[in-house]
Amino acid sequence: MSYVLKALKTAYGHKPVLDISELVVHKGEILGLVGANGSGKSTLLRHLAFLEKPNSGELLYEGLSSDTIPLAIKRDIGILLPEPYLLKRTVKENLLFGLRIRGEERDAQKRLEEALDLVGLLPKKFLPRAWHELSSGETQRVALASRLVLRPKTLLLDEPTNSLDYSGIPQFTDAILHANKEWGTTIVIASHDLLWLSEIATRKVGLHFGRLMDFSTTNLIVGKWRESGDERFFDFDDTQSMSLPKSYRIGEKRGVAINPRDIFIASTLFTCKEDEVALNGVIRDVLHLTKTNEISIKVIIGAHVLECIEPFEVFDAHRFYPAQNVYVHFKKSAIKVPSKEG
Amino acid sequence: MDFILSGLIEAFWLLIRFDPETISAIDITLRSSTLSIIFSLAIGLPLGFCLGFFSFPGRKALKLLSDTLLAVPTVVVGLIVYAFISHRGPFGEYELLYTLTGIVIGQTLLALPIIVSLSATAVEGMDKKLYLTLSSFGLTTFQMIQSVVWELRHGLIAVAVAAYGRVIAEVGIAMMIGGNIKWFTRTITTAISLETNKGEFAMGIALGLVLMSIAFILNFLLYFLKKRARITV
């Protein structure tokens, strides 16, 4: 195991930002972190890079705690920040920086060229360039190359595709996969690009207000609930709503989450049981998740989008298509309310 | 108007034929200000770096003090140094009054708050992304300091240039501590003051032209460095 996190808590002042009861990152895996802005993804990555310390709890990297980990082991971890910062030097000097720090200048030229090749930049053209002569996409690639040149055991990537255009993403993806396959690098990626993350990650975890969800929480329903009788209602539109007993402590900002794998789709309405919710909507997009051979179907209901993930075989039997009018249904027990206690 | 024009013409003559008295004042000025800048950088840069980089109790009070000292008039610095190195002062036995060394001490003290305060501001204002990026490479404390200084080099050189500009143009310390002794402690500014009082405009104008040229070069350097530092943000 690369990382083991237990009862890890961090707050900025009085505002809790991370509250993770347990998380294990396995060696050689590509872990995707998903979650809304402010969910704690970047903070978690900075903790994993030992750039920030948690207020309490345990963070072990290869069995070593943040207090006892030696510098040499810390140097095995590379992190790419969301807005990469290049040192005020040439591309060559930027790539050499980490190697010099580690005293690994032997075969440096070969390694620099290999790293630039990996990110799709021509070494002859880019090595002599100064930091201010690069576009934001090139800066992003050089920043990744400056980490790849070190052949890190662990690579933490925070919104790595931010500055890249569509043509730059495949090369960037290949570079990350190369590190994972050739050097066995453990990779943790925080990204809003769920499509890209689905392609590259071997596992995804969701973060919601600093807490881990055991699935990719794309179905976070945040907003106002109205009270009526013994229940609270959430209105998807003027005619459709779902309800939960008042005993559920729903925070408007924290919202509720529904596992996409607990949601089912049908083309016709059927009789709903009391403990079930059925909603009418229109399919926005259908996506094949190649890693798990599942199909992600996103359905627009009023102003909200619900994602349903089905095994390919189930989808194959129905063949839903975008713009199709469908009914989604799920059990009320599938609605998870993130509690304050986690 | 004639005396200004004739003074200007004579000033050029003094410079063209390397008038020994004029050259002596330029030489003493450059020597005293260069030495004092070297000393103040050696002391002030590490202090400024620590003040801007590390967090410790009393840091804000020290920063406030160094910022306040920026505004101290040169004659006050001259007065304090005079009190310490005059015959009645604690360092009187070293006979530093009316010497170049005395001027260097005074000018070092004048430049010190400028260097401490401005370099602390430069380090304090360092981009957080730079700090995080450097930290992510797993640097030792020494490597971190070395890298931060190198990354902020344009800003820090600009601090040195600004301090040099202040020192080379000051008159209070050179006059009070140096005593304006011809061939020994007469600097450009004290010479201008004296020659103008004597009605010798030519040398005053010649030295003024030299001082303005130095000021222009320094300001050009500052402009260039600030532009360079902006590119890097």
User: Is the Cβ pair A79, B140 closer than 8 Å?
Assistant: no
Nearest Cα residue in chain A from B148: A87
Mean pLDDT across A267-289? 86
Strands A256-258 and A231-235: unpaired
Query: What is the pLDDT averaged over residues A177-199?
Result: 90
Say what the pLDDT of residue B215 is: 86
Using the 8-state DSSP alphabet, how is residue B175 labeled? I
Neighbours of A278 (CB within 10 A): 17
Helix axes B128-136, B141-151, angle to 10 degrees: 140
Q: Alpha-carbon distance A88 to A272, whole Å? A: 63
Q: Which residue from B132, B138, B143 is facing A74, i.e. has the nearest CB? A: B138
Q: Give the domain CATH number at B86.
A: 1.10.3720.10
B142 vs chain A: nearest CA distance in angstroms?
11
Q: Span A196-210, mean pLDDT?
A: 85
pLDDT value, residue B58:
94
With bands split at pLDDT 50, 70 and 90, how would you rate the model's confidence at B137?
A: very high
Among B39-43, B197-201, B211-215, B223-227, name the most confident range: B39-43
* Burial grade of A323 (CB within 10 A; 0-12, 13-18, 19 or more): exposed
Task: From chain B, pick out residues whose CB is under 8 angstroms from the CB of A132.
Answer: 231-232
Q: How far is A34 from chain B (nearest CA, A)?
A: 22
* Residue B4 forms part of a structural domain: no
Decide: helix, strand or coil at residue A127.
coil
pLDDT confidence of residue A101: 92
More confident residue, B214 or A253: B214
Host H or E run for residue A3: strand A3-12
pLDDT-based confidence at residue A15 (cuts at 50, 70, 90)? confident
Q: What is the mean pLDDT of residues B176-193?
A: 94
Q: Which fold has domain A254-336?
A: OB fold (Dihydrolipoamide Acetyltransferase, E2P) (2.40.50)
Taking an 8 Å cut-off on Cβ atoms, the answer to whether B138 and A81 are in contact is no
pTM of the model: 0.76
Give the nearest partner residue to A81 out of B132, B138, B143, using CB atoms.
B132
Q: Is residue B179 in a domain? A: yes
pLDDT at A192: 83
Of chain A, the percentage scoring pLDDT greater than 90 comes to 54
pLDDT of residue B233: 37
Sign, Cα dihedral of A215, A16, A80, A154? negative
Distances (CA, A) of A230 to A248, A279, A336: 11, 22, 19
For residue B5, being part of any structural domain is answered with no
Distance between B149 CA and the closest CA of chain A, angstroms: 11
**Most confident of the following: A181-190, A238-247, B122-131:** A181-190
- Interface contact flag, A132 B231, Cβ < 8 Å: yes
| Contact across the interface for A83 and B129, Cβ inside 8 Å | yes
Residues with Cβ within 8 Å of A77's Cβ and at least 6 positions away in sequence, in order, are A48, A49, A50, A61, A152, A153, A154, A155, A156, B136, B138
**pLDDT for the residue numbered A94:** 96
The residues spanned by each domain of chain A are 3-213, 254-336
CB distance B151 to B130 below 8 Å? yes
Cβ neighbours of B136 in A, within 8 Å:
49, 51, 77-79, 81
Q: Which residues pair with A188 in a beta bridge?
A: A31, A156
Residue B129: give the domain boundaries.
21-231
| Residue A216: predicted pLDDT | 54
CB neighbourhood size of B231 (10 A) = 12
pLDDT tops 80 at residue B231: no
pLDDT of residue A168: 82
The pLDDT assigned to A342 comes to: 37
Phi and psi for A286 in degrees, rounded to 5?
-125, 130
pLDDT band at A34 (very low <50, low <70, confident <90, very high): confident
B189 in a domain, yes or no? yes
B1 lies in some domain: no
Averaged pLDDT of chain A:
89
For A161-182, give one letter per residue: b (16+ CB within 10 A) or e. bebbeeebbeebbebbebbbee
For residue B230, pLDDT over 60 is answered with: no
Tell me, yes or no, whether B15 lies in a domain.
no
For residue A301, pLDDT over 60 is answered with yes
Contact A71 B127 (CB under 8 A): no
Structure token pair of residue B194: 């004296």
pLDDT digits (tens, 9 = 90+) for B47-73: 999 999 999 999 999 999 999 999 899
Mean pLDDT of B98-119: 96
Beta-carbon separation of A85 and B147 below 8 A? no
Confidence class for position A97, pLDDT limits 50, 70, 90: very high
Q: What is the CATH number of domain A3-213?
A: 3.40.50.300
The answer to whether the CB atoms of A101 and B138 lie below 8 A apart is yes
Q: Contact A71/B140, CB-based, under 8 Å?
A: yes
Nearest by CB to B138, from A75, A84, A87: name it. A75
Of A209-218, B38-47, B199-208, where does the model show the most confidence? B38-47
- In this prediction, residue B232 carries a pLDDT of 46
Mutate to test the interface with A, among B137, B151, B156 (most CBs of A within 10 A): B137
Site from A101, A104, A148, A188 to mutate, B interface, most B CB atoms within 10 angstroms: A101
Give pLDDT, residue A44.
96
Picking from A187, A121, A135, the residue whose alpha carbon sits closest to that of residue A158 is A187
- CA atoms of A204 and A214, how far apart (whole Å): 9
- E strand or H helix at A294: strand A294-301
Helix orientation angle between B59-69 and B100-124, rounded to the nearest 10 degrees: 130
Q: From chain A, pick out residues whose CB is under 8 angstroms from the CB of B129.
A: 81, 83, 85
**Which residues on chain B are in Cβ contact (under 8 Å) with A46?**
132
Contact call for A98 and B143, based on CB within 8 A: no
Out of A205-214, A333-342, B113-122, the most confident range is B113-122
Q: Percent of chain B at pLDDT above 70?
A: 97
List chain A residues with CB under 8 Å of B151. 87-88
Chain B positions touching A81 (Cβ under 8 A) are 129, 132-133, 136
Question: Which pLDDT value is given to residue B45?
Answer: 95
Q: Please give the tally of structural domains in chain B.
A: 1
